[in-house]
Chains A and B, each alone.
Chain A
Amino acid sequence: MLEQLLIFTRGGLILWTCKELGNALRGSPIDTLIRSCLLEERSGAASYNYDTPGASYTLKWTFHNELGLVFVAVYQRILHLLYVDDLLSMIKQEFSAIYDPKRTSYDDFNDIFQQLKKEAEARAEEMKKSKQVGKPVNNNLGRKQGQVQNGSVDGGSKKKSGGESGNDGGDVDKSRGRPLENGNLRNNHVGKGEAPTMINANGKENGASKTGAFDVNKLQKLRSKAAKKTETVVNKVPKEEPKKKITKKNRVWDDSPKESKLDFTDPVSENGEQNISVVAADEGESMMDKEEIISSDSESEEEETEKDSNVDSKKKGWFSSMFQSIAGKANLEKSDLEPALKALKDRLMTKNVAEEIAEKLCESVAASLEGKRLASFTRISSTVQAAMEEALVRILTPRRSIDILRDVHAAKEQGKPYVVVFVGVNGVGKSTNLAKVAYWLLQHNVNVMMAACDTFRSGAVEQLRTHARRLQIPIFEKGYEKDPAIVAKEAIQEASRNGSDVVLVDTAGRMQDNEPLMRALSKLIYVNSPDLVLFVGEALVGNDAVDQLSKFNQKLGDLSPSPDPRLIDGILLTKFDTIDDKVGAALSMVYISGAPVMFVGCGQSYTDLKKLNVKSIVKTLLK
């Protein structure tokens, strides 16, 4: 049974809502749908899931682009209504017949709606019966929905993914009772959620599998069985723990002989090093504060690419499209948009946008252009280009303010230091860009302190120490092989003692698939609750950007012990000078995580840090 069906204009006025289904919706699903899905250019997705305490809904929608109307149907998630898509398209047809821009009340539509609803329900019943086997149909549709749900969970807003996985973890019993559709997927989620808690008991060493208290392989077998088995494993762990005292084993990467001493930090105290006179690094003003000069590029390049795509189409097709463009009568169909969209998608992919993202974007633009009337004297390709440009600007424009200085001042007034944590995979440039951010903040008269929480990589602490010496700022470090969460905590305490305004926390690089390391990271974030979690990603990354960011967000959400986990708040894009015009990684990252790009690293010296210029990136992407 439908909970609610709404028709509203793109400008925001509700034109019609079904009065019989009078149940008030809990929370605000429609507003959330608009903000997290339609305005985020995810309107190509099939459905949207909304969770609120007390209810969980699924929303489906369709557009009428010519008249600027949106039709949304809301129903309970546990019901898998098949007739909703059908109903929506029928309603769209009927309503557009009676729509008038001047009218604002459409009470006569109630009867039409009742009729249509009965028709749609009857048709769905028939389909069920005619297929004879209801289950396979449901399975296929359900799995598709489940996959779309997964896709939307991964690609959706941060809170969404955290909320849904949290639900999954809690509903162990319910998941068995629910219809088969999502059974497999849900159980997998539950399994993954339970298993890591066992591994954690042994510390974060992967190498422990050989010598540890229990076998990780055994655990993986258990994971694939039903959730019941996890109880027995829980019983096993406390028994085995007292047997062996957990000693930390060094990570053995290959057959190299064991190093007896790994900590090569100079035993000579700081005083000895200060004898070397170091001039404080002053390399001029950071590029963050400089305005970018946008060069106006010529139109001729655009013309050339358009000519190429035109030559491909047949001569007849060209003539009719020219005629149509002059007359401007054609209603855009999906088949018309296909070639232009495909060309755009290929162009985006040559600019290093992840394939999945380019696909979703094109779908979203298609959804917003279908059924629209071409303005006269415009070609289809130029309409599509304009719509895509608008969509790109919309995605790259930050959703919230990225004024860090303002946040620093706010935190200063409250008397506590502003904590920034730099996270990312290996080798993206966290430590280098941390130093650049410190330099920029110093130029704005902010007291900065660094915290060396990368206690794994050899030389990480020395690297930060060198930067700190050059910038003449304090650094808090505890050497190697220490728990980063505790180092960070002590660093923040030290900062509030010595009056630093900002604490920049450097962490070790880690792969997004590495469960124990991600757990350690989420523990660091949970324990210290930083003000800004900055994901450092390199601009050279290709399709992996999608995987990195979505897994980071997912793990931070899943593995955090708190009910309201902190997710990635901002992105720092590095190595921007190495890509000439293949700037697509910025788009992929922003699209998949919803976090704005706060800084762009464009070189290896202190001044090479700038802000993201949305217009120039969009121009480069569509050139």
Chain B
Amino acid sequence: MDEEKMEKLKIQLQQLLNEAHEFVQKIPPTQINVAIAVVLSTIVLFLIIRLFKRKSSNTIVLTGLSGSGKTVLFYQLRDGSSHLGTVTSMEPNEGTFVLHSELTKNGKVKPVHVVDVPGHSRLRPKLDEFLSQAAGIVFVVDAVEFLPNVRAASEYLYDLLTKASVVKKKIPLLLLCNKVDKVTAHTKDFIRKQLEKEIDKLRASRTALSSADISNEYTLGVPGEAFAFHQCSNKITVAEASGLTSDISQLEQFIREYVKA
């Protein structure tokens, strides 16, 4: 039965082809050439637009645990002050603007597209939407309440560093230690070392034990050596900032480095 159907289909297809052939041959040649030229040019246009979009990914993604100060930093970048304060974000804050500190500069300043993704664990899936167009990631860490949250922070950072989009595109990451205006804030070196230690332990518990454990897409670091940030294929830098007192110069430096490029 199937073979008969196949035969019938084949005959039908051949008939259609013949008809199309005759139809095409009837049209005068100039029209065909024009049609082909139009089709080709639209295809070329599409390709160019796609290339353009990929190159000019000028999005900076602010992420980190809930309560680390991302929304405050976002508004500092945009307006120079955090207004009346913030609460836990339920939705991402997006904006394309010129950095507030550069408003007074003369000449043409390129606007920056900044996205502040909520840090609450239930809203984590929202991060993936913005990672595809990210030119740089800022991972904000609360330098005051660091030790109670070090495990959660390192797990989040580990998940981030092993995502395919981050590893393949080698998106640079800035580890920003926020709230350094407080007296009990830890130093950025301490935070960096603690995070490296925790990620090292995570590495061991997640990948080395079972080859079937493929929940993370890539492995980090060099097996056998203690993990360090400089082993990652994407560049990781550490900086300090204070959202409340507008001390965000290092953050702006990072943004300028990677957006103008």
Contact A406 B209 (CB under 8 A): no
Tell me if B123 counts as interface (CB < 8 A to partner A): yes
Given contacts A39-B123, A409-B201, contact A401 B152 (CB under 8 A): yes
- The answer to whether B90 touches A10, judged by C-beta atoms less than 8 angstroms apart, is yes
Bitwise, B124-160 to A at CB < 8 A (1) or not (0) is: 1100000000000000000000000001100100000
How many angstroms between the C-alpha atoms of A494 and B67 in the bound complex? 41
Q: Determine if B123 and A394 form an interchain contact, defined as CB atoms under 8 angstroms apart.
A: yes
Q: Say how far A36's CB is from chain B's closest CB, in angstroms.
A: 11
Partner of A104, one of B83, B90, B206: B83
Question: B86 and A445: CB pair below 8 A?
Answer: no
Q: Are B89 and A11 in contact (CB under 8 A)?
A: yes
Contact B83–A394 (Cβ < 8 Å): no
Residue of B nearest to A16 (CB): B84
B-contact 0/1 string along A90-126, CB 8 Å cutoff: 0000000000000011000000000000000000000
A614 vs B230: C-alpha distance when bound (angstroms): 34
Within 8 A of B (CB), among A271-289: 285, 289
Interface residues in A19-51 by Cβ distance below 8 A to B read 30-31, 34-35, 38-40
Contact call A397/B122, Cβ cutoff below 8 A: yes
Q: How large is the interface on B (under 10, 10 to 19, 20 to 34, 35 or more residues)?
A: 35 or more
User: Looking at the complex, which one of B85, B93, B116, B122 makes contact with A39 (CB distance below 8 Å)?
Assistant: B122
Contacting pair B91 A394 (CB below 8 A): no
Roughly how many angstroms separate A13 CA and B121 CA in the complex, as a whole number? 19
Is A290 an interface position by the 8 A CB rule? Answer: yes
Q: In whole Å, how far is A90's beta carbon from the nearest beta carbon of chain B?
A: 21
> Given A289-B213, A403-B205, A405-B209, are A34 and B90 neighbors across the interface (CB < 8 Å)?
yes
Distance in angstroms from B196 CB to nearest chain A CB is 16
Q: CA separation between A399 and B122, bound complex, in Å? A: 6
Determine the distance from Cα of A399 to Cα of B85 in the docked complex, in whole angstroms. 25
Could you say which residues of chain B place their CB within 8 Å of the CB of A39? 88, 90, 120, 122-123
Contact of A400 (CB < 8 Å), options: B71, B121, B212:
B121
Q: Is A68 an interface residue (CB 8 A)?
A: yes
Nearest-CB residue, chain B, relative to A68:
B91
Q: Tell me, yes or no, whether B227 is within 8 Å of chain A by CB.
A: no
Question: Interface readout for B216-243 with A: 1 if CB under 8 Å, 0 if not?
Answer: 0000000000000000000000000000
Known: A31-B87, A34-B88. A11 touches B116 (CB 8 A): yes
Contacts of A410 in B (CB 8 A): 151
What's the Cα separation between A398 and B120 when bound, in Å? 11
Min C-beta distance of B2 to chain A, whole Å: 23
Encoded as 1 (CB less than 8 Å from any A CB) or 0, chain B from 193 to 213 comes to 000000001101110011011
For A70, the chain B residues whose CB sits under 8 A away are 90
Shortest CB-to-CB span from B36 to chain A, Å, is: 33
CB nearest neighbor in B for A39: B122
On chain B, the residues within 8 Å of A394 by CB distance are 122-123
Q: Are A285 and B204 in contact (CB under 8 A)?
A: no
Contact of A405 among B89, B90, B125, B206 (CB under 8 A): B206
Q: Which residues of B contact A395 (CB under 8 A)?
A: 122
Taking a contact as CB atoms closer than 8 A, the residue among B125, B201, B215 that contacts A397 in the complex is B125
Q: Is the CB of A397 within 8 A of B209?
A: no
Q: Is the CB of B210 within 8 A of A35?
A: no
Q: Bound state CA distance, A444 and B206, in angstroms?
A: 10
Q: Which residues of A have CB within 8 Å of B205?
A: 403, 405-406, 408-409
Contact A445 B209 (CB under 8 A): yes
- Tally chain A residues at the interface, Cβ within 8 Å: 42
A444 and chain B: residue at smallest CB distance = B209
Residue-wise interface mask of A (274-312) relative to B, using a CB-CB cutoff of 8 A (1 in contact, 0 not):
000000000001000111000000000000000000000
Contact A406–B206 (Cβ < 8 Å): yes
| Neighbouring A residues of B213 by C-beta, 8 Å | 289
A589 → chain B, closest Cβ, in Å?
A: 16
Q: By the criterion CB–CB under 8 Å, are B121 and A399 in contact?
A: yes
> What residues of B have a CB within 8 angstroms of the CB of A8 in the complex?
86-87
With a cutoff of 8 Å between Cβ atoms, the chain A residues found around residue B48 in the complex are none
Q: Which one of B83, B87, B91, B212 contacts A285 once the chains associate, using CB atoms below 8 Å?
A: B212
- The CA of A15 and the CA of B206, in the complex, are separated in Å by 43
* Given known A11-B71, A14-B87, A39-B122, contact A289–B152 (CB-CB < 8 A): no
Pick the contact of B88: A35, A68, A104, A289 (CB < 8 A).
A35
Q: CA separation between A70 and B116, bound complex, in Å? A: 19
Instruction: Indicate if B40 sits at the interface (CB-CB under 8 A).
Output: no
| Interface: A393 (CB within 8 A) | yes
Decide if A12 is an interface residue (CB 8 Å cutoff): yes
A325 sits at the interface (CB 8 A): no
The residue on B at minimum CB distance from A14 is B84
Q: Which of B66, B90, B118, B121 has the most CB of A within 10 A?
A: B90
Check B86 against A290 for contact (C-beta < 8 Å): no
Q: Using a CB-CB cutoff of 8 Å, which residues 381-409 of chain A contact chain B? A: 393-395, 397-401, 403, 405-406, 408-409
Asked if A289 meets B120 with Cβ closer than 8 Å, knowing A12-B93, A31-B88, the reply is no
Which residues of chain B from 32 to 87 have any CB-CB distance to chain A below 8 Å in the complex? Answer: 66-67, 71, 75, 79, 83-87
CB distance from A358 to the nearest CB of B (A): 20
In whole angstroms, how far apart are the Cα atoms of A279 and B212 in the complex?
A: 24
B214 at the interface (CB under 8 A from A): yes
Q: Which residue of B lies closest to A101 (CB)?
A: B95
Q: Is A265 an interface residue (CB 8 A)?
A: no
With A and B bound together, what is the CA distance between A399 and B124 in angstroms?
Answer: 10
Q: Which residues of B contact A400 (CB under 8 A)?
A: 121, 152
Closest CB in chain A relative to B67 CB, distance in Å: 8
Instruction: Looking at the assembled complex, report how far the CB atom of B71 sits from the nearest CB atom of chain A, in whole angstroms.
Output: 4
Query: Are B92 and A11 touching (Cβ within 8 A)?
Result: yes
B-side contacts of A104, CB under 8 Å: 75, 79, 83
Quote the shortest CB–CB distance from B179 to chain A (angstroms): 16
The reply to whether the CB of A443 lies closer than 8 angstroms to some CB of chain B is: yes
Are A15 and B121 closer than 8 Å at their CB atoms?
Answer: no
Tell me, yes or no, whether A89 is within 8 Å of chain B by CB. Answer: no
Query: Which chain A residues have a beta carbon within 8 Å of chain B's beta carbons?
Result: 6, 8, 10-17, 30-31, 34-35, 38-40, 68, 70, 104-105, 285, 289-291, 393-395, 397-401, 403, 405-406, 408-410, 443-445
Task: Pick 21 A–B contacts, CB within 8 A, sort by A.
Answer: A8-B86, A10-B90, A10-B91, A12-B93, A13-B75, A14-B85, A14-B86, A31-B67, A35-B88, A35-B120, A39-B123, A70-B90, A104-B83, A105-B84, A289-B213, A399-B122, A400-B121, A401-B151, A405-B206, A406-B206, A444-B209
Please provide the 5 A-B residue pairs with the shortest distance between their CB atoms, ordered closest to farther: A12-B89, A289-B212, A11-B93, A12-B71, A14-B84
